[in-house]
Structure 1
Amino acid sequence: MTDAETKTDAETKTDAETMTNAETFKKNNFVIVRNFLDPFLVKYLASYYREVRDHGAGQFHTDWTSLNCNGDPAADAVLYSLRSTIEAEIGLKLWPTYSFVRIYKKGDSVGRHKDSPANQISCNMNIARGDVDWPLGVSDGETNNSVIFQPGDAMIYRGFMLDHWREKFQGDHQVQLIVGFVVQDGRFDGLRFYGRGKPMYQPKGVRRAGPVKLTKAVLWRIREAYRKRAGTE
């Protein structure tokens, strides 16, 4: 197994770096997009999540690692509004599934894992960070990549296929916003909208995933069943 550091803009560009983002994504199953988010949006979200961190918000809670929320309204707005932009970056048509925000503090870590089928395609965006770099590890089983985010940067990746993790955090704060998608008419198409029912943005005539709640146990069984099948879509 080898290790690879992602290059900075100041480094000499290689042939691989001249590929389009869609070509890079197809080859590596992930692509890093610098300055993906509009600076004003980053500033707004950083301020919003700072208020959440310092003063609390009803929908946020702390689990085994960090303060977090599934379906925060601000994050859901990003999920819906950036879908077409993400589609253009990777050359795939997508259905949204859900959004997730984590507000990390010193000592937090993220165990090595793959995502559920609802994260067939994920976009992980940095909203705010301190002075300490906190790399996200990404591996296809052969090569380990280390990705360092700056505010506004994003990594679009096949979360269901790639291992990803973070070692113990030595900084004081970092905010990551993650939005998930499934490929339209692909193997996980039935997970569109992730069981939230019919949202107002759903196109007319499109069937929904259903009103049932997808528990961790159910998702685990779905994930294990799909992993036994060949192919990526």
Structure 2
Amino acid sequence: MFNKYQVIKSALSYELANFVFNYFLLKRDAAEFMYKNNIIHENGMFGTWRDPQIPNTYSHYADPVMETLLVKVLPKMQQETGLELIPTYSYARLYKKGDKLRRHKDRPSCEISTTINLGGDPWPIFIDGTGADNVIDEFNEIHKPNAPKGTKVLLEVGDMLVYSGCELEHWREPFDGNICGQVFLHYNHVNGPFAEKNKFDERPMLGLPGFVK
């Protein structure tokens, strides 16, 4: 029975996770080459370094491979958690040394969120299972006094953390490794208040960039 958060071991095989990790490294390098040489302009189709949540770090909304994972892991996740879900969107990042994820809760399209470790150096995520609102100002990192320190979760390659993204604050401390690949797969409850509006994150289908609504 799902209780706000749960780890699913080997949601992806090591081989599949490693393949996706190396694919995403290559896509980042190709995007950087095309942007720097003015072959294409940055428009989200090949990822971005402009995400204000973690600037200057490569990330990608709805990469087709990640969107495929969004569907692939759903049956196993539903079986393990007992949840009935519809997919909303995927988001992937290649974190670099010094990056951190500020303490926050997610938007409604992330009612049930997951993060999968694709590869690179280990980096724990922290999650506050109390559901309390401790963040006063996310971007200036102002929190209420005595905010819970949270539970530390360290995923191996292919492992997936499933959590109630809109209810539970989650964050990562500054990264002291060199690179870490993570993909976030987001869902809504089938019969929840956001299901009809947020299917595919308001896009006509999976695989489309965010500007296609």
Q: Shared fold (TM-score greater than 0.5)? A: yes
One-letter amino acid matched to 1:179: L
| In 2: Cα distance, 1:194 partner to 1:138 partner | 24
One-letter amino acid matched to 1:193: F
| In 1: Cα distance, 2:11 partner to 2:149 partner | 25
How far is the alpha carbon of 1:34 from its aligned partner?
Answer: 1.9
Q: 1:56 aligns to what? A: 31
**TM-score, normalized by length of structure 1?**
0.70
- Pair 1:168–1:188, CA change in 2 (3 A): same
Q: 1:194 aligned to 2:201?
A: yes
| In 2: Cα distance, 1:37 partner to 1:185 partner | 27
List 4+ stretches of structure 1 deviating above 6 A: none
Which of 188, 192, 198 does residue 182 from structure 1 map onto?
188
1:68-89 alpha-carbon deviations (Å, 9 max, x no partner): 0110010000011221111111
Three-state SS of the structure 2 residue aligned to 1:56 is: helix
- Pair 1:54–1:198, CA change in 2 (3 A): closer
Identity rate of aligned residues, in percent?
A: 30
How far is the alpha carbon of 1:198 from its aligned partner?
Answer: 4.3
How far is the alpha carbon of 1:59 from its aligned partner?
Answer: 1.5
How far is the alpha carbon of 1:136 from its aligned partner?
Answer: 0.5
| In 2: Cα distance, 1:92 partner to 1:31 partner | 12
Which structure is higher in helix share? 1
Q: Which moved more, 1:140-149 or 1:71-80?
A: 140-149
| In 2: Cα distance, 1:55 partner to 1:172 partner | 20
How far is the alpha carbon of 1:102 from its aligned partner?
Answer: 0.7
**TM-score, normalized by length of structure 2?**
0.76
What does residue range 17-166 of structure 1 map to in structure 2 within 5 Å?
Answer: 23=1, 25-26=2-3, 29-56=4-31, 59-63=46-50, 64=52, 65=54, 66-130=57-121, 133-139=122-128, 140=130, 141=132, 144-166=150-172
Task: Flag structure 2 segments of 5+ consecutive residues without an equivalent.
Answer: 33-44, 133-147
Three-state SS of the structure 1 residue aligned to 2:150 is: strand
Contact 2:103 2:171 in 1 (8 A): yes
One-letter amino acid matched to 2:25: R
| In 2: Cα distance, 1:163 partner to 1:43 partner | 28
How far is the alpha carbon of 1:187 from its aligned partner?
Answer: 1.5
| In 2: Cα distance, 1:179 partner to 1:137 partner | 17
RCO greater where, 1 or 2, for CA within 8 Å and sep 6 or more? Answer: 2
- Pair 1:50–1:117, CA change in 2 (3 A): same
| In 1: Cα distance, 2:149 partner to 2:22 partner | 36
- Pair 1:199–1:172, CA change in 2 (3 A): closer
1:130-170 alpha-carbon deviations (Å, 9 max, x no partner): 2xx42101002367101112111110111010000011111
| In 1: Cα distance, 2:167 partner to 2:11 partner | 23
One-letter amino acid matched to 2:181: V
